[in-house]
Amino acid sequence: MDERLSRQLGDIDKAAEQANVLALLTALESESPQVRLAAIQALGDVGGDKASLALSRLAKDRYGEKPELRIAALEALGKTYEPGRYADYLEGFVSDENRKVIAGARRLLEKADPEGFPGRLVRLGCLDHAAIRVYGRARIVEAVPLLAGFLEERVADGSVSHGSYWGKVYAATKSLGSIGGAEARQALEDLVESARAHEKGGFLEVERMEKVERGALEALERTRWD
């Protein structure tokens, strides 16, 4: 570590000890990512309205800030907000965001509200691979209409085997099999019927449809006794 950086980090430590929010806010303007990260962490430790506002602005800066620093700001906010408010705040970052920010926000949200985490994803309508797997692991019944609706849409518009969907379709079959229930079975049966009626295409499309059909049949087998 060079002398200048070491001195700047030392100044941040001193500002944190003195609860000098103004000095920490000034450090946020540094060109050094290390200095900015240290200032972010210190602001979380110091707390207060000014610190929370600065951290929130940084966390929301999609176009001017690096994802790693935005995630650090989100984590620091966990020290300044009460738990319920913090979990609600994090919901604004778990979808429709930079992938790194989504992953970071979900990690923090799951830690902040482990029991409510899957349900929060369902309420937000999250349907990416990671969310779909969460639903299956948690066996959260509230996710069934969301997953079933997703499969119904793919069957209706014939996009089950499309590159942007088929992986999620396959993941959804596994999660529905884990959750079980009449609605899950119906969605899986409809998917199997669609896969069998699907007109044969190229090798890749056929392979995808066969995998989807096998996945749906295996999922149906798991739901037989629920």
pTM: 0.89
| CB-count burial class (<10 Å; 0-12, 13-18, 19+) for 79 | middle
pLDDT of residue 117: 97
Domain count, the chain: 2
Percent pLDDT > 90 in the chain is 76
* Mean pLDDT within 15-37: 95
Does residue 110 sit in the same domain as residue 132?
A: no
- Of 114, 145, 180, the residue that ends a domain is 114
**Residue 86 pLDDT greater than 90, yes or no:** yes
Does residue 99 sit in the same domain as residue 133?
A: no
Q: Is residue 119 included in any domain, yes or no?
A: no
Does residue 105 sit in the same domain as residue 133?
A: no
pLDDT in tens, 38-55: 999 999 999 999 999 999
- Of 75, 94, 114, the residue that ends a domain is 114
Position 144 confidence tier, pLDDT thresholds 50, 70, 90: very high
Position 203 confidence tier, pLDDT thresholds 50, 70, 90: low
Structural domain boundaries enclosing 221:
125-226
Q: Are 174 and 143 in contact (CB under 8 A)?
A: no
Does residue 98 sit in the same domain as residue 181?
A: no
CA distances to 70, 78, 90 from 55, in Å? 8, 10, 13
**Residue 202 pLDDT greater than 90, yes or no:** no
CATH number at residue 44: 1.25.10.10
Q: Is residue 140 included in any domain, yes or no?
A: yes
Does residue 107 sit in the same domain as residue 214?
A: no
Q: Are 121 and 137 in contact (CB under 8 A)?
A: no
Kindly report the average pLDDT of the chain as a whole number.
92
